[in-house]
A = this chain, B = another copy of it.
Amino acid sequence: MRQEVGQLEVATRGRGLIEITNEVARWIAGTGIQTGLVTLLCRHTSASLLINENAAPAVQRDMLRWLEQVAPEGPHYEHDDEGPDDMPAHLKSALTGVNLSIPVSDGRMLLGTWQGIYLAEHRTSPHQRRVVLHVMGE
């Protein structure tokens, strides 16, 4: 049993969902681990990780609109030093979470057919985001 730690750098273009399934899969393949557990941690509080349907692009657009409705911008936040999109970004990050663990078998993540891993950027402007990767297995 052994483990490896790595990091993905993701350049976002502002608010949106970016699929990172292939990048994570390639990193796991590079470790040579066949059976194990991979864990992802998004190292930010205004971006998050999400497993979502990866077939229809409309799903991602509806998801973003829904997040806007659940955690809208507005004058009612006490914390607004970094702009009106900052506090809603923290709320969306808490709602969707920054952490995923996925079992690996035959060197591949055991995701369902329609599941993709997404980095969700909740700020309006582009950011450089970092996702820590950890895999343990053999």
Give A residues with C-beta under 8 Å from B.
1-3, 5, 35-37, 39, 41-46, 50-53, 56, 58-59, 61-63, 65-66, 70-71, 76-79, 81, 87, 90-91, 93-103, 105, 110-115, 130, 132-134, 136-138
Copies in the complex: 3
- Give A84 to B1 CA distance when docked, in angstroms: 46
Additional pairs, 15, CB under 8 Å, beyond known A39-B102, A103-B133: A1-B2, A1-B136, A3-B35, A36-B136, A41-B102, A43-B111, A45-B51, A45-B112, A45-B114, A53-B90, A61-B79, A62-B91, A65-B76, A95-B95, A103-B134
Tell whether, in the assembled complex, residue A77 and residue B62 are in contact, meaning their CB atoms are under 8 Å apart.
yes
User: A36-B3, A43-B112, A137-B3 given as contacts; is B98 within 8 A of A51 (CB)?
Assistant: yes
